[in-house]
Every structure is written in structure tokens, then in C-alpha cells.
Amino acid sequence: MKTFAKTLATLVLGMALGSATLAAAAPSTLKAVIADFKIIVNGESKTLTKSPIVVDGTTYLPVREVAGLVGADLKYDGANKKIELTTSLAEEGNQVSKTSLRGEKIVDLLSKKYPEMKTNSGEKLSLTMDGTLTLGDKTIKLTHDSEYNYDVTPLIEQGILVASDIQ
């Protein structure tokens, strides 16, 4: 009987230690909620093919898909656990390289992107020769060269245009 009791005690102790070790090795559990958000990029409604998730009040978005929506290229380096996002506007130091467009092209782009802005009488969208752009209640000063190619960098910086709009 003593042998049986020792064997049983050893078995119970072994099972208890094994369970504790197994529990310690188990990954953490977290609760996530699949969310359905409306995504707006520069005033345009976009749809994600993969749903965002919310964990502890923080929303996680599919980075490759979001990069595509904002016109950025994504490079994934799994070996170094690195994700690199690059916009089509090359950065030189801290300055974004200038991107210039003809005035007619800017007005055409903006009127297509913001159709609620009228270009006829009572204009909500206009660009003067001196580079004053009126877009609704906003007035933005654009610089230009001698051939009236206007620098659209301020429009990109303010989120009115994105790099993919001007390609």
C-alpha cells in the first residue's frame, strides 16, 4: 500500500508540474474585435478587402492595403522584421522634392477629385496666374516657374492631393 501511495503521489506531483510547465509555455491570449470602419483618403471613401481589428482600444489596419490606398510602396523584409513605406515623392534630406504641374492639369485634377467644387460662375475652384488657388473656402498660394508649371507640394502636404493623383 505504501508503494501504491508513493507511486500515486509521484504521479500526481508529475502531472501538476507538467501542467504548470505547459501553462507557462502557452502564449498570451488577447481579445480582438473585427471592425468595420469607413476609410476616407483625401475626401474619397475607400474599401479595405481585409478587415481592421481592435485590441484594447487600438485599431490595427492591414499595412500593405493602407499603403496602396495612400499611394505608398511597401517593402517587407521578414528576415529583419522590417516594413519600409516609400511615397512616390522622393525625399531629399527633410525636403520633399517638388512636383510641378500645368495650371490646367491642377484644375482638372481637383475638379474630378472634388466634383462639388464648380468651375463656372460662382467658382469654388480657381487658379490665378499668380498661383492663388481657391478650393472652396481654402486659399493656397502655389509657386510656379516661368512656364507656369505650379509646385503642387503644398496640396500634397495638406492632403488635398496624394502622390498617386499626379502620376
Reduced DSSP (H G I as helix, E B as strand, rest coil) percent helix, strand, coil of the chain, to 5: 30, 30, 40
Q: pLDDT (tens digit, 9 = 90+) per residue, 21-42?
A: 444 555 788 888 998 888 887 7
Alpha-carbon Rg of the chain, whole angstroms? 29
11 has pLDDT over 60 = no
> Contact, 125 vs 114, CB < 8 A?
yes
Q: pLDDT (tens digit, 9 = 90+) per residue, 34-78?
A: 988 888 877 778 888 888 998 988 888 888 888 877 777 788 899
> Contact, 76 vs 67, CB < 8 A?
no
Answer yes or no: pTM beyond 0.95: no
Over residues 82-98, mean pLDDT: 58
- If DSSP codes are grouped into helix, strand and coil, which group holds residue 156? helix
The pLDDT confidence band at residue 90, using thresholds 50, 70 and 90, is: very low
Over residues 94-109, mean pLDDT: 74
Closest Cα to residue 66, out of 162, 167, 166?
Answer: 162
Q: Which three cell numbers stand for residue 145?
A: 516657374
142 has pLDDT over 90 = yes
